[in-house]
Each structure stands twice: as C-alpha cells, then as structure tokens.
C-alpha cells in the first residue's frame, strides 16, 4: 500500500464501510502548536495531535524531538480513536513534515495501515468544521521496532558502510548557517539530500520514478542500506516516506543533528563534500 493518499481518495474512503481515523498534526518549527488553527477550522472528524507534546519526548540529550515514551504515545493514539484494525490518515498544514513524523511513529510502533494526506490541508476542498470530535477509545498498543531506527553510533557507521542522507537544507549541511543547533555542518560521510526537493511547488510528493532517480543518483541501489537524519527527526521522517515511495526501506536517526551536535566529542564535517 502506498504511504500517501489524496484528498479525493480520503473523501471516498471516509464515506465507506471502513472510514479511516483522521489525525490533524499542524505544526511549525519554533512557532506555537497548531491547536488554535485546528480549533478555527478543521476537516470533519479530525483529531488534533500536538507534535511537540505528544509525538516527542522532553528535549534534552536525545535531541530537540526525541522519541516519545511508547506507552505515552499509545495512550495519545487510543484517545484519538486509533485502532489496530482501522486505517489512519494523517495531515498537517501542507509541508508534510509533521504528518510524516506521526506516520513514522505509528508505523515504527506496528500500525499496519497509515497514510499521509499528500499536500496536506491545502489540498482539501471540502467543508471545515469547528466541532471537536469525541472518538471512541481505540485499542492500539505500540510494539516498537517495525521500522529501522538508528542511534548516533549506528548513523556514523552507516555513513561509512552504506548511505546516510542529510534531509536538512543544503546550507545547513555545508555549515554556512545554523539557526537552531549548537554548530553547523554534517555527520562525516553523510550525503546532502534536502527533503524539500522531494515535493513539487504545491507540497505534493514527486512521482515515484522521479524520486527513485533522485535517490539512485545519490547512491541508493537495490541492496544499499539507507539511513536518514535531519535537525531533530521530523523532516527526516518525511524523507523516509519519500524513500519508501521510491522503493527503499530506510532507517531514521531520530536524535539527528540536534543530538549529534550537542556532543562535542562527535566529529563535524563542513562544506559540500560528504567527508
């Protein structure tokens, strides 16, 4: 099953016999959470999920958005009505990063049927509502490990033995600017692969063959072990989703640059060359 769904496909499925649970994960880096926007108008039936508070643990040694405690995450998903045998569709405001973070967490913890609304809320042409849904309690119980997860040491090793992609903007990879973390640059051996180039001007993913060509040019082959990191494990999840569309199963370094750069013993490379 493709990990993305169009607005028209979602509308059709929502009227069917097995309607998906819809999660609204509007979020912006450094800004307020999207709850106010959600309360001002959202797709009927959508349940708001707060990325910073519910899709991440407390910031610290594990980075700015460490993975949440699985049991706490499971409780959030059950309150949202998520069931193991019911499809889940996730959307954000359109960038796709926050939705992909929710998609990755659900997939990593074992949910078999999760998709991201391609292009986000901006593609929705139906009505919006201000009514807050009260879904029946779900039964989803997280079992972590269904997708690949890297720690700092594993990411460093993969940069040498396979393909480690840096999903941040190219200027952050090169170390020319660093607006958030302690120092700029990249993990030695990592290849620059800005996730923003996986989508078109409307925020929709490029066709699968175009994504496959892009990642192939970076060194992703049929037998290549691939990993991804970003600033704090959010846009990196979007890159993992793009890689899945292209036919590659990739692991996520969830701590990402925010964790790596906070440890002064870790080496930092700068400039356009991976090493």
Q: What is the pLDDT of residues 131-143, one digit of tens each?
A: 999 999 999 999 9
User: Is residue 31 very low, low, confident or very high in pLDDT (cuts 50, 70, 90)?
Assistant: confident
Mean pLDDT of 173-188: 96
Q: What is the pLDDT of residues 66-98, one digit of tens each?
A: 999 999 999 999 999 999 999 999 999 999 999
Do 141 and 84 form a contact (C-beta atoms < 8 A)?
A: yes
Give SS3 for 243: helix
Do 142 and 74 form a contact (C-beta atoms < 8 A)?
A: yes
Distance between CA atoms of residues 117 and 112, nearest Å: 16
pLDDT of residue 29: 80
pLDDT of residue 46: 98
* Residues across the chain: 275
Catalytically active residues, by annotation:
230
Class of domain 4-123 (CATH, top level): alpha beta
Do 109 and 70 form a contact (C-beta atoms < 8 A)?
A: yes
Of the chain, the percentage scoring pLDDT greater than 70 comes to 100
pLDDT at 269 over 90: yes
pLDDT of residue 80: 98
Q: How many CA atoms lie within 13 A of 191 on its CB side?
A: 19
pLDDT of residue 249: 97
pLDDT at 30 over 90: no
pLDDT at 246 over 80: yes
| Ramachandran bin of 175, using left for φ above 0, alpha for ψ from -120 to 50, beta for the remaining angles | left
Beta-sheet strands, E only, within the chain: 4-5, 21-24, 47-48, 88-91, 114-117, 149-150, 163-166, 191-192, 226-229, 250-253
Do 24 and 43 form a contact (C-beta atoms < 8 A)?
A: yes
**CATH 3.40.250.10 domain locations along the chain:** 4-123, 149-260
Domain 149-260 has CATH 3.40.190.10: no
| pTM, 2 dp | 0.97
Do 239 and 223 form a contact (C-beta atoms < 8 A)?
A: no
For the chain, what is the mean pLDDT?
96
Q: Output the 3-class SS for 159-184.
A: HHHCEEEECCCHHHHHCCCCCCCCCC
pLDDT at 1 over 90: no
């Amino acid at each position: 099953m493709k990990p993305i769904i169009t607005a028209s496909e979602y509308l059709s499925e929502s009227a069917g016999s097995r309607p998906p649970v819809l999660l609204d994960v509007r979020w912006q880096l450094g800004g307020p959470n999207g709850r106010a926007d959600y309360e001002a108008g959202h797709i009927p039936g959508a349940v708001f999920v707060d990325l910073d508070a519910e899709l991440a643990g407390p910031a610290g040694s594990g980075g700015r958005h460490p993975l949440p405690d699985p049991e706490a995450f499971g409780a959030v998903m059950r309150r949202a009505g998520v069931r193991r045998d019911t499809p889940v569709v996730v959307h954000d405001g359109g960038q796709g990063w926050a939705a992909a973070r929710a998609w990755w967490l659900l997939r990593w913890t074992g949910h078999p049927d999760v998709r991201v609304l391609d292009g986000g809320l901006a593609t929705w042409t139906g009505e919006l509502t201000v009514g807050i849904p009260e879904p029946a309690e779900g039964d989803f119980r997280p079992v972590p490990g269904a997708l690949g997860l890297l720690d700092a040491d594993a990411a460093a090793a993969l940069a040498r033995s396979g393909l480690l992609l840096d999903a941040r903007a190219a200027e952050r990879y090169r170390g020319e600017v660093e607006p958030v973390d302690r120092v700029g640059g990249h993990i030695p051996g990592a290849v620059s692969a800005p996730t923003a180039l996986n989508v078109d001007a409307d925020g929709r993913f490029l066709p699968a063959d175009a994504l496959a060509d892009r990642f192939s040019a970076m060194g992703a082959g049929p037998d290549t072990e691939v990993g991804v990191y970003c600033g704090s494990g959010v846009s990196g999840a979007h890159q993992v989703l793009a890689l899945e569309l292209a036919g590659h199963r990739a692991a996520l370094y969830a701590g990402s640059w925010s964790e790596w750069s906070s440890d002064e013993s870790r080496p930092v490379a700068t400039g356009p060359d991976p090493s």
